A and B are shown apart, each in its own frame.
Chain A
């Protein structure tokens, strides 16, 4: 084949298959080959599922040949973060605790992806139970950033982001609890969206913090992210917190944003409390230049206040571990997953539970369980969890006021570009926790957020974050697609086109 199918976007692949230029089997094989050739170095995947992917592809090809009505993206492959429960396919959540767990049921997201005919290439690497922002906290080894394999891809959806950036998958499903889709998207030069809370069902998503977790799409373009979001969204009667309203047309929003002059009169709000000092200079410069492009295209840049921001991080680091401590209580060796018996002393339910939990959880997970257990304890609840919920209300109020003045809020997604390995230090977790300052307000308030490439700083991608009011996800796609077009025009090519594709001598063979 003359064309490298892995370099195409999901939208292009969908068009090409519809036009009969190639089949889903061709596309799926090309991506599986690319994974085979590169994943020893990149490490995006915990499990690769060629049989499952090729079976879906063959089915789609057969149905297409038979003239059946197919989903517009049928046949376009996708990777799933290993937190999406898949019947018959091992689902680990990046933890030793679930190393051999093959679930008996499907997440709603997986059901929808199967129904639409998207071949699932495999399950991507992540920080254990989605706790972390580098993917170093996986029990299955690190994932490398394709832009520089000495750096992390971000986290916790690091494998998802790197699979999209390294042309292993055109689409990737991640989850975002405090920035876990947006920050890795920023680090890998991809587009990642955290939808409005409840937009995508959480049924079958291994939970970290129920009130903050949200499934989100990643892709190399805003349009691809929109397409995956469109496919996954919608009310699910198995998730009480899923929104019951109809799903807006995100692809129409992308088209509207791509038209000339779409930014005319749009108010982009910068957040006073996220001041320049909080960002690396290169990050700030890339952000400012992208913002300047938007201004020149007719957008109005306004400044908004978010006085509660300084408390938001504290609130997040109380609510998240509190909910996680309870959600992770079920991993006790009694019903599924790892079961470890004590080497000495009596084997009782209590000792099996404690031995299993000691053996199965990594340090970061244990840290958060301890924090959460403490924060919920009698006598501390009001001071910690109770106060944190009040801050959450303040954040929502501040954001509501900010959205009176601005259509979307903008900031760099993360204070730095991708960090080298080992920066996440178990002795000083606070440094990394602080990196989430720009992303967590969206989770606390349940509003949608997007990270898209703003440009490069020292050769590494910088993320541009957009936030919109709850249920206004379409606004992200409209404004995001406009900014994406401006940044692409200014650089002469999409940012992702410049990512290195050969990662190490021993894995330098290219796919046919």
Chain B
């Protein structure tokens, strides 16, 4: 069934579970380094390997990060909460239980506003944000395409085992109708931006720092009880989230239209065609034999500590965006592009350093981003906001034109000094010596009588044909406006 028909007939409801890996120095319950990559099983201790006798100890920084997240999502912070064991057997789970929080999340009852592309605000109610540890990673060897089916053996890497996670669970998101896919993607994007602003995670979707499980159900109308849901696991790009929701709505509508019933199950998303396929049945009766983790004492963050963390929260992305939109007078789309490029910090700092918002945006999103892409490095490592503000100032002062400024920037990127220093060293400043410019103009006029003839005849755009030889003669350092005035004065004077 077509998506448009599906949403015309049914009212979709969403439930989204987002896992974020915290960027703490060490793991959730031991002092193994929490770093991405490394050789297999390098970042482990007896605790993260689940060796007999090893015990967990809660990482205080992980608690602080979880509280930051909770506060940023408008949640209440538990006065005391216990970890619980979620018991199930799987080779990537070293202890064959995951230490998580079952009934006692550290943060609960929050809400955030999600802003869609057109400025529509959708409030999303947060049920809870709880802490847990990540599992290791299985690699299946010998079969087709790394799947377990047909593999000869599997390897387990526990480097990720014990990495601290916060899982954020929404209440059902209803009443968004045909905008459900967009809302789902925008919600996860909003969280991603918050994680980055809070400094709790690098929040790189492509590295799996942020993973989303998307629950979708349909019902006939807004008054009907929620329908049976499916949970599409580990969707990890905004576009994929949009596509997965869209696909599930259409798929479920078709089944319901034919009088069928939705099977409650987990589903896998396929990037290749945007479809989902059946995973394993998931009933609410899954029995993980939860019980409070007896090896840990309850986490009881003092109210003073919570308030201290609250007072130290940075300006959150939504507030910052609104402030910058007001101050800068740029469009939603423009600011969104800057945010997506991860360049809001340097752009804002460049504005603070004296550049206009337009100029700051132009440099960072243009030339600097281009060079960064070419060199496969981060743009904000190539130049400082002060460099960029200074470069623009040189243009505004008439000492550089755009072309020269790009040459100066290249020198700055190479680490040869500030823009002024590079400009001086390379003699790139615009030629103000009118003698040299006059000579170049005269030479160009003398060498191109046919062009001169056209200009005399009123074809003013022919002036451009003289600019090339003039710029060439002055090594690009001529100020184009001045040269133009001189040409017209000579010919028509």
Contact = CB atoms under 8 A, between A and B. Distances in A.
B53 A205 contact: yes
A414 B56 CA distance: 35
B467 interface: no
B126 to A, nearest CB: 26
A204 interface: yes
Contacts of B410: none
A450 to B, nearest CB: 24
A213 to B, nearest CB: 9
A376 B52 CA distance: 22
Interface in A355-388: 373, 376-378, 381, 385
B52 A85 contact: yes
Given A101-B52, A330-B50, A238 B95 contact: no
Interface string A342-360: 0000000110010000000
A334 interface: yes
A104 B46 contact: yes
Nearest to A213: B294
A206 B287 contact: no
Contact of A373 (B94, B95, B289): B289
B340 interface: no
B87 A326 contact: yes
A98 B89 CA distance: 19
B154 interface: yes
A486 B92 CA distance: 58
A27 to B, nearest CB: 29
A377 B289 contact: yes
Contact of B53 (A204, A326, A350): A204
Nearest to A378: B287
Given A104-B46, A240-B58, A353-B89, A93 B52 contact: yes
Interface string A83-113: 1010000010100001001011101000000
Interface in B87-143: 87, 89-91, 94-97
Contacts of B96: 329-330, 332
Nearest to B288: A378
Contacts of B154: 349
A140 interface: no
B291 A378 contact: no
A203 interface: yes
Contacts of A335: 49-51, 94, 156
A378 B289 contact: yes
Interface in B62-96: 85, 87, 89-91, 94-96
A202 B154 CA distance: 33
A204 B45 CA distance: 12
B289 A107 contact: no
Interface in A188-215: 202-207, 209-211
B97 A329 contact: yes
A237 B91 contact: no
A103 B51 contact: yes
Given A329-B89, A332-B89, A349-B91, A322 B52 contact: no
A336 interface: yes
A139 to B, nearest CB: 15
Contacts of A332: 89, 91, 96
A216 B474 CA distance: 91
A394 B94 CA distance: 35
Contacts of B294: 209-211, 241, 323
Interface in A262-291: none
A104 B85 contact: no
Given A326-B289, A376-B289, A385-B291, A241 B53 contact: no
A336 to B, nearest CB: 7
B296 A326 contact: no
A239 B57 CA distance: 7
Contacts of B291: 322-323, 326, 376, 381, 385
Interface in B198-250: none
B289 A330 contact: no
B148 to A, nearest CB: 9
A108 to B, nearest CB: 9
Contact of A241 (B97, B285, B297): B297
A103 B51 CA distance: 8
Rank and list the top 4 A-B pairs by shortest CB-CB distance, nearest first. Answer: A329-B96, A210-B294, A376-B289, A211-B294
25 contacts: A104-B51, A107-B53, A202-B53, A203-B53, A207-B53, A209-B294, A210-B294, A211-B294, A238-B57, A240-B295, A241-B294, A323-B291, A325-B87, A326-B289, A326-B291, A329-B95, A329-B96, A330-B95, A334-B156, A336-B51, A376-B290, A376-B291, A378-B285, A378-B289, A385-B291
